[in-house]
């Protein structure tokens, strides 16, 4: 067993026993309190209450002009709340976790959380249609139903969900505690950075924090669906592997032999050498080799003695029938004393 620091990068031999979070009483109480806070923020903005006045005071203060030396750093830091870059980074990490622990749960949890984030936050954004501080038209107005899409803050909600998933999927209490603190710091910083840059109202950020936290707290209700989805995907994978094994040859095939399911090419028929006419001797036969090409031997002249073995023969002309019915003469060997 490896004891160095890189041993944790190896794949585990067996899937670990992962404790799936459940909807406990504490989590249920937090979910209810966050939902009440969410509704209170929406009602305060709809009623153009004191919260809208604070939004305008912060916007007119223009923090990006008060501390311009922070603008370059915070303009880059706010990328940690953008959905595209953060989703790619976290998906790469959770993909390695899925491979190492022989489970698809980390990737499925990320997919479900991002789906809930896009549907819930996107629906409220489009439904309320609030304009941002840079596009505000009337001082003191909530700027609702004007075709905007900044309430709640998508950067803030995405930072809460994306980085909070790492704490949700932690396997030890210590790791979960550290990752919870890290995700809270990142989401808090991203939300305040959007207020500094003037891209969001303060109430947008408050509602974004509440929206992201609601999704994280509601994930245990989605665990049964995630488990069924993982079982279905793994079952389809095993069926595909079984089909591949059935299609592969079960017995070893000798080199050059036919393979199952592969049609063998038909060989052209071997031409048999033509038999020499009676009284003629093939050159291949005289050469003594079956591989020599057969060629018709010249017929001996009538009366010429031919030695066959230890006997002397002489060809005598004999009559033969030609194609036209006329009698033709051909040589026939005759033995002589």
Res. 173 pLDDT band, cuts 50 70 90: confident
- Cα 320 → chain centroid: 85
Rounded to two decimals, the pTM is: 0.69
Q: Give the rounded percent of residues in the chain with a pLDDT score beyond 90.
A: 54
Q: Is the pLDDT of residue 294 over 80?
A: no
Res. 329 pLDDT band, cuts 50 70 90: very low
Res. 171 pLDDT band, cuts 50 70 90: confident
Could you tell me which residue, 290 or 173, shows the higher pLDDT? 173
12: its two tokens: 């585990």
pLDDT digits (tens, 9 = 90+) for 187-235: 999 999 999 999 999 999 999 999 999 999 999 999 999 999 999 998 8
DSSP string, 92-161: HHHHHHHHHHT-SHHHHHHHHHHHHHHHHHHHHHHHH-PPPGGG--STT----SSS---SS-HHHHHHHH
Q: What is the pLDDT of residue 246?
A: 84
Question: What is the rounded average pLDDT for all residues in the chain?
Answer: 80
Q: Identify which of 152, 176, 177 has the alpha carbon closest to the alpha carbon of residue 45.
A: 152
Residue 318: its H or E element: strand 311-321
Q: Is the pLDDT of residue 31 over 50?
A: yes
Q: What is the pLDDT of residue 302?
A: 53
Q: What is the pLDDT of residue 310?
A: 45
Tell me if residue 316 falls in helix, strand or coil: strand
Cis peptide before 152 (omega within 30 of 0): yes
Residue 261's φ and ψ, nearest 5 degrees, are 80, -5
Q: Identify which of 38, 26, 156, 162 has the alpha carbon closest to the alpha carbon of residue 94.
A: 162
pLDDT digits (tens, 9 = 90+) for 121-146: 999 999 999 999 989 888 889 999 99
pLDDT digits (tens, 9 = 90+) for 101-117: 888 999 999 999 999 99
Residue 211's φ and ψ, nearest 5 degrees, are -65, -45
Q: Is the pLDDT of residue 298 over 60?
A: no
Least confidently predicted of 15-24, 98-107, 195-204, 308-317: 308-317
């Amino acid at each position: 067993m490896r004891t160095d620091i890189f041993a944790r990068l190896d794949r585990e031999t067996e899937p670990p026993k992962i404790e799936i979070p459940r909807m406990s009483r504490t989590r249920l109480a937090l979910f209810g309190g966050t939902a009440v806070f969410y509704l209170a923020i929406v009602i305060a903005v709809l009623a153009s209450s004191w919260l809208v006045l604070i939004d305008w005071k912060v916007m007119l203060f223009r923090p990006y002009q008060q501390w311009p030396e922070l603008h370059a750093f915070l303009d880059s830091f706010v990328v940690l709340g953008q959905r595209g870059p953060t989703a790619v980074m976290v998906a790469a990490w959770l993909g390695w976790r899925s491979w190492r622990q022989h489970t698809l749960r980390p990737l499925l949890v990320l997919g479900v959380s991002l789906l809930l984030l896009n549907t819930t936050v996107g629906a409220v954004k489009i439904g309320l249609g609030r304009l941002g501080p840079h596009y505000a038209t009337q001082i003191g107005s909530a700027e609702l139903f004007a075709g905007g899409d900044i309430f709640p803050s998508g950067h803030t909600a995405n930072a809460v969900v994306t980085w909070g998933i790492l704490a949700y999927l932690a396997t030890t209490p210590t790791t979960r505690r550290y990752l919870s603190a890290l995700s809270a710091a990142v989401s808090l910083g991203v939300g305040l950075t959007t207020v500094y840059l003037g891209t969001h109202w303060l109430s947008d950020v408050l509602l974004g924090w509440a929206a992201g936290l609601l999704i994280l707290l509601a994930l245990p209700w989605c665990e049964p669906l995630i488990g069924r989805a993982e079982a279905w995907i793994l079952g389809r994978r095993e069926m595909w592997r079984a089909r591949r094994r059935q299609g592969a040859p079960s017995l070893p095939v000798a080199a050059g032999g036919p393979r199952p399911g592969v049609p063998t090419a038909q060989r052209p028929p071997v031409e048999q050498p033509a038999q020499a006419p009676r009284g003629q001797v093939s050159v291949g036969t005289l050469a003594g080799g079956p591989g020599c090409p057969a060629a018709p031997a010249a017929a001996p002249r009538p009366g010429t003695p031919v030695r066959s073995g230890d006997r002397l023969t002489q060809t005598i002309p004999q009559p033969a029938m030609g194609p036209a019915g006329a009698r033709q003469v051909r040589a026939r060997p005759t033995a002589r004393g």
